[in-house]
């Protein structure tokens, strides 16, 4: 999906997976209106209905009165008039975890995705949130495969097009717990203009107006910047050979710290 040249007005919230009680509480605080319409998109989950019902229940227990599930799958088109109407009314759209490729499979090229992106770019009170797969699918590109030592061999990772809500960013989830630094660093060789953000479980980022990522949660966010790297050997080696590059810049960020996504500098409080 084409990116708007103007900075988006809306807010993205991404969690690295794990327990998401704190995320749901944070989203409730961000909305600041118990009657604000919230829609759950659970197409990534193996049992979408059960997963969505759990989130509906949890958000209602936090005082949110207007929470519902939009069912999108092989038999339920994203572009059904009722689904589009509910999207246009929503203040928060929440993507659950699971398989992020199912999210793009069901949304790519739809009016639903165009409307989602339009509202994110034009409405300051609109929030898109996701956990795990629902976090990694947000940018223009997403990581979908890469494990262990193989992630540092050519061909050992795979990226695909995400939802395109934000450009020049890669988000990886379960980052610390599943040892995913190698695959994120490898992805930077292919997408060298991107900033890589590795989110630990129960840890995430709030991106306001596309400008800054503020960390929240109990763990660490690792930011990997390959803008000034050199020695990238990806174009000179064969499949299965080890990858190389030098001069990545890495930040370890914890709750309350902010990273400017344009300058890629940590924003220090005065």
Distance CA 212, CA 205 (A): 9
Q: What's residue 4's pLDDT?
A: 47
Does residue 221 lie within any of the structural domains? yes
Q: What's residue 1's pLDDT?
A: 45
The residue count of the chain comes to 270
Residue-level pLDDT, tens digit, the chain, 270 residues: 444 457 899 999 999 999 999 999 999 999 989 999 999 999 999 999 999 999 999 999 999 999 999 999 999 999 999 999 999 999 999 999 999 999 999 999 999 999 999 999 999 999 999 999 999 999 999 999 888 889 999 999 999 999 999 999 999 999 999 989 999 999 999 898 899 999 999 999 999 999 999 999 999 999 999 888 999 999 899 999 999 999 999 999 999 999 999 999 998 754
Does residue 270 lie within any of the structural domains? no
Residue at token pair 């949660």? 217
Report the domain count for the chain: 1
Reduced to 3 states (helix: H, G, I; strand: E, B; else coil), residue 263 is: coil
Does residue 182 lie within any of the structural domains? yes
Are residues 59 and 51 in contact, defined by beta-carbon separation less than 8 angstroms?
no
Report the CATH number that the domain containing residue 71 is assigned in CATH: 3.40.50.880
Residue at token pair 């997976």? 17
Provide the domain limits for residue 96. Answer: 11-263
Query: Both tokens of residue 83?
Result: 């689904």
Reduced to 3 states (helix: H, G, I; strand: E, B; else coil), residue 113 is: helix
Does residue 161 lie within any of the structural domains? yes
Does residue 4 lie within any of the structural domains? no
Instruction: Please tell me the pTM assigned to this model.
Output: 0.93
Going by their DSSP bridges, the two strands 38-41 and 67-69 should be labelled as: parallel
Does residue 71 lie within any of the structural domains? yes
- The DSSP code sequence of 136-184 is HTSBSEEEEEE-GGGGGBTTSEEEEE---SBSSEEEESSTTTTT-HHHH
Does residue 48 lie within any of the structural domains? yes
Q: What's residue 270's pLDDT?
A: 47
Going by their DSSP bridges, the two strands 266-267 and 258-260 should be labelled as: antiparallel
Q: What's residue 2's pLDDT?
A: 44
Distance CA 215, CA 207 (A): 9
Does residue 223 lie within any of the structural domains? yes
Q: What's residue 5's pLDDT?
A: 52
Q: What's residue 227's pLDDT?
A: 86
Rounded alpha-carbon distances, angstroms, from residue 63 to 32, 40, 46, 55, 238: 10, 16, 27, 13, 56
138 alpha-carbon distance from chain centroid: 4
């Amino acid at each position: 999906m084409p990116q708007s040249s103007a900075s988006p007005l809306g807010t993205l919230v991404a969690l690295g997976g794990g327990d998401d009680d704190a995320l749901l509480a944070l989203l409730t605080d961000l909305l600041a209106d118990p009657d604000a319409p919230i829609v759950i998109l659970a197409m990534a989950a193996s049992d979408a209905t059960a997963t969505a019902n759990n989130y509906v229940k949890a958000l209602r227990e936090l005082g949110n009165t207007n929470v519902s599930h939009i069912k999108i799958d092989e038999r339920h088109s994203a572009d059904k008039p009722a689904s589009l109407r509910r999207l246009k009314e929503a203040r928060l759209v929440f993507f659950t975890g699971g398989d992020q490729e199912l999210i793009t499979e069901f949304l790519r090229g739809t009016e639903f995705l165009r409307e989602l992106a339009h509202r994110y770019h034009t409405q300051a009170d609109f929030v898109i949130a996701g956990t795990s797969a629902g976090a990694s699918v947000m940018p223009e590109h997403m990581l979908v495969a890469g494990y262990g030592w193989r992630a540092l061999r050519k061909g050992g990772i795979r990226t695909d097009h995400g939802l395109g809500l934000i450009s020049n960013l890669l988000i990886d989830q379960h980052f610390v717990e599943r040892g995913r630094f190698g695959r994120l660093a490898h992805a930077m060789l292919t997408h060298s203009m991107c900033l890589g953000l590795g989110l630990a479980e129960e840890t995430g980022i709030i991106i306001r107006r596309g400008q800054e990522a503020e960390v929240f949660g109990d763990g660490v966010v690792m930011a990997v910047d390959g803008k000034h790297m050199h020695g990238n050997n990806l174009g000179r080696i064969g499949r299965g050979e080890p990858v190389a590059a030098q001069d990545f810049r890495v930040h370890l960020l914890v709750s309350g710290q902010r990273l400017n996504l344009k300058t890629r500098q940590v924003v220090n409080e005065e």
